Chain A
Amino acid sequence: MRVMILAKSQPGSENPTNPTTEAVAAYWRYHEELVAAGILLAGDRLHPSSEAARVRFEGTSRTVTDGPFTEAKELVAGFWIWQVRSLDEAIEWLKRAPYDGGEFEIRQIFDQPTAG
């Protein structure tokens, strides 16, 4: 099964201060472990919402709102797509990510028809 990990932005993370060299190194070590285990399919950080837009649908009308968006809790700052055997495996891997703050959400992706 596949999961999408959504990294929620926290106050300040929309415009992060430069992370330390150690933090970057720890992140890449973790990233390499994900690749070596064959589970990382895709992923990236997202630009801050000041460079984003929203499109709201109401019947036939489309309303476009330019960023930045203020309700920080609802903002996604980055994502991964992982291939794992179970939600538990995803949780185990995510718990090992070298972060000391923030919130991540693991969502299961609808992919295969349930033939097996």
Chain B
Amino acid sequence: MESPRLVAALTRIVRDVGLAEDLAQDALEAALRQWPDAGIPDRPAAWLMGTAKHRAIDALRRRTTLQRKAEELGRDLELDQGTQRDLDTEIDNAAIGDDLLRLVFICCHPVLSIEGRVALTLRLLGGLATDEIARAFLVSESTIGQRIVRAKRTLSEARVPFEVPQGADFDARLASVLQVVYLIFNEGYSATSGDVWVRPALCEDALRLGRVLAGLVPEEPEVHGLVALMEIQGSRMRARTDPTGRPIRLLEQHRARWDRLLIDRGLAALARAESFEGPHGPYVLQAGIAACHARARIADETDWPRIVALYDALAQLTPSPIVELNRAVAVSMAYGPAAGLELVDALATEPSLMAYHLLPAVRGDFLMKVGRFDEAASELARAASMTRNVPERNLLLERSRAAGQAALDARER
């Protein structure tokens, strides 16, 4: 529980995130040994921090063999003595917040691979054990272990400073942080592979990271936008699958099963994000779209023209074939399937969507609605062959068969 704060504060002292993690672990283990006998100290957080910092000093002393290290030691010891005074009295929450924010930025540093950023973020900020991360991403524990080791080494070799980026750099670096958090959420929200489609625990981890981040940088509308987006999407979690784990599409979900608490939190976060001056960023826009669904008590009440307008803004800001595909879906709902089909057909040659199963899935849906059943059946079957997720594949195959049946029925009439 204390681990991210400890690691953050220690990284500032020892300038090495790997060493900081080991020291934090030592302090936590010492607490587990001593507290049951000695009782829990009055200020457990301060006790942990104090213990860890003493260990940090010991560790730095042991590394004095090299002259360079000795110089570092001198600097760090001075630094530590400076902070020693307030340590015994009270932990400065603001200072810890700063350290935590620095830790967020180095965990999501662009010098690392995306996989490295995700693993390091879950490990150091989420406090997940290596085997928990491995289970969440369906890879072996040693793979995650290696990713983390490699990421730490990269940070150390690149001499990445332990600081909050300033100026123009800040926005780009914050975008990387938000991307990592949303990636974690999405892997939980619709797993790219495996036997289950959703992994709620991963979504919860991402949401917690997002909420922590919103507390650390409360003046950034995009952070509140991301939190709003995740809270609202998370509110549908228990409505998105049937008891056998089969996905249920948004418009077919029982809205009574949506989580009102998360919707309210999401709408509040969105209101906060929208209260800032200036044009809305991509997460605020996406949260706005999610909110249109959340506000509709029944699917027929959905404000589709507003969703189309939000997708228009999103497409201008971050043009991408996937945004276009989603916009096509909204257009079809607002202005009919033929209009949507026209937009989707324009995406058929898009190279980046060649392997994206939702393109034929959406196109199949539109074809079905305009009565071109044979084409719908083959598009849906193609979509099924392109996804690695088993429940999703089964659903697409079922829809393909239904389209094939509709084609037969149409011929018999």
Identify which of residues 28-47 in chain A touch chain B, using a CB-to-CB cut-off of 8 Å: 32, 35-39, 41-42
Tell me, rounded to whole Å, the shortest Cβ–Cβ distance linking A38 to chain B.
4
Q: Is the CB of B1 within 8 A of A116?
A: no
Q: Is the CB of A113 within 8 A of B238?
A: yes
* Segment at the interface with B among A13-21, A58-66, A85-93: A85-93
Cα distance A37–B214 in the bound complex, in angstroms: 11
Interface of B is mostly: helix
Tell which of B40, B127, B201, B245 touches A95, judged by Cβ atoms closer than 8 Å.
B40
- Across the interface, name the chain B residue whose C-beta is closest to A29: B93
Q: Is B237 close to A, CB under 8 A?
A: yes
The contact string, 1 if C-beta is below 8 Å from chain A, for chain B 194-230, is: 0011111110110111111001000000000000000
Cα distance A111–B93 in the bound complex, in angstroms: 33
- B127 to chain A: which residues have CB within 8 Å? 85
Cα distance A35–B214 in the bound complex, in angstroms: 10
Cα distance A28–B295 in the bound complex, in angstroms: 32
Q: Is the CB of A37 within 8 A of B200?
A: no
Q: Is B95 close to A, CB under 8 A?
A: no
Tell which of B97, B210, B259 touches A111, judged by Cβ atoms closer than 8 Å.
B259
B contacts with A, residue count (CB < 8 A): 32
Identify which of residues 161-187 in chain B touch chain A, using a CB-to-CB cut-off of 8 Å: none
Q: Is B241 close to A, CB under 8 A?
A: yes
Tell me, rounded to whole Å, the shortest Cβ–Cβ distance linking A99 to chain B.
14
With A37-B208, A39-B208: A112-B200 Cβ-Cβ less than 8 Å: yes
- B243 to chain A: which residues have CB within 8 Å? 113
With A83-B204, A92-B1: A41-B199 Cβ-Cβ less than 8 Å: no
Q: Is the CB of B238 within 8 A of A111?
A: yes
- B237 to chain A: which residues have CB within 8 Å? 111-112
Q: Is the CB of B200 within 8 A of A38?
A: no
- Across the interface, name the chain B residue whose C-beta is closest to A40: B211
With A37-B1, A41-B265, A95-B40: A115-B200 Cβ-Cβ less than 8 Å: yes
Q: Is B261 close to A, CB under 8 A?
A: yes
Q: Is A3 close to B, CB under 8 A?
A: no
- A89 to chain B: which residues have CB within 8 Å? 1
Q: Is the CB of A112 within 8 A of B238?
A: yes
A85-B127, A112-B198, A115-B200 given. 15 additional CB < 8 A pairs? A37-B208, A38-B207, A38-B208, A38-B215, A39-B208, A41-B261, A81-B261, A83-B208, A95-B40, A112-B237, A112-B238, A113-B241, A115-B198, A116-B188, A116-B202
Q: Can you list 24 A-B contacts (CB < 8 A)?
A: A1-B201, A35-B211, A36-B212, A38-B210, A38-B215, A39-B208, A41-B262, A41-B265, A42-B261, A89-B1, A93-B1, A95-B40, A111-B200, A111-B237, A112-B200, A112-B237, A113-B241, A115-B197, A115-B198, A115-B199, A115-B245, A116-B198, A116-B199, A116-B202
**Chain A residues packing against B (C-beta within 8 Å):** 1, 32, 35-39, 41-42, 81, 83, 85, 89, 92-93, 95-96, 111-113, 115-116
